[in-house]
Structure 1
């Protein structure tokens, strides 16, 4: 038996499927993100993945041979931090689509915004559809049987 709400329910399901597919695609694109940075004088080059894990360290020139251990250590740490910041910015670009205006993914990732505050407790839908889902028929519990 068909109801007048079947199309609205199908539309909601189609929207959910579309949003899910977009989320899967965003995750795929995030997994491909890398961030790279090179220290001054090209003493060191670092590459990190989307999670900030170091995936490559290179020494493009022989300049590191002339550096004191502490100086080389500082160059490495600074370069890795910059590579992570670059990766985070790239992830933010990929992830920014679909977020409410003014909200950046970096704010979510760094805990400055609570994701629960961005989404309504219940999905938006007409009361009639909500009643139909909850009670199995239109206007259930309202004493208005059409």
Structure 2
């Protein structure tokens, strides 16, 4: 079997890809397991949401909700859901913050406030000889 000077570098790049893929799977698992709970003042309502913002539990820890007007209870519920969602988003962002470029917030990405292509380089970083190979193909003596 013939080898080229790039075989080890290609193997190294494939191993790096596999490692990054495994890290991405683990990050997704950790984000999927993230939940947040918020409680309204006077403990009228307690809401738990997933990292995706889905309401997974609503509780009424005390009987205080019984003394509330329907509009007041609805407002408390909506406010508490928003607080729990913001907290869940913050916690999910903390999971991936170390993997994001400096100055990029997970919340901005998820809320569409930031174009992900704006933070990516036009050309990925790679050694000059790899860049030359990608741009021009193999130039070994047997293939010239």
Post-superposition shift, 1:98? Answer: 1.1
Quick one: distance in 1 between partners of 2:139 and 2:128?
A: 9
Quick one: distance in 2 between partners of 1:62 and 1:138?
A: 78
Unmatched tracts of structure 2, length 5 or more: none
Pairwise CA RMSD of aligned residues?
A: 2.1
Quick one: distance in 2 between partners of 1:139 and 1:116?
A: 35
**SS class of match (2:98):** coil
Quick one: distance in 1 between partners of 2:68 and 2:123?
A: 59
- Is 1:6 aligned with 2:7? yes
Unmatched tracts of structure 1, length 5 or more: none
**1:98–1:138 Cα change, 3 Å:** farther
**1:70–1:109 Cα change, 3 Å:** same
Match for residue 68 of structure 2?
Answer: 67
**TM-score (normalizing by structure 1):** 0.87
- Is 1:129 aligned with 2:130? yes
Post-superposition shift, 1:103? Answer: 1.2
Q: What CA deviation, in whole Å up to 9, does each residue of 1:3-50 have, x standing for no partner?
A: 111122222111111111111110000000111100000000001111
**TM-score (normalizing by structure 2):** 0.88
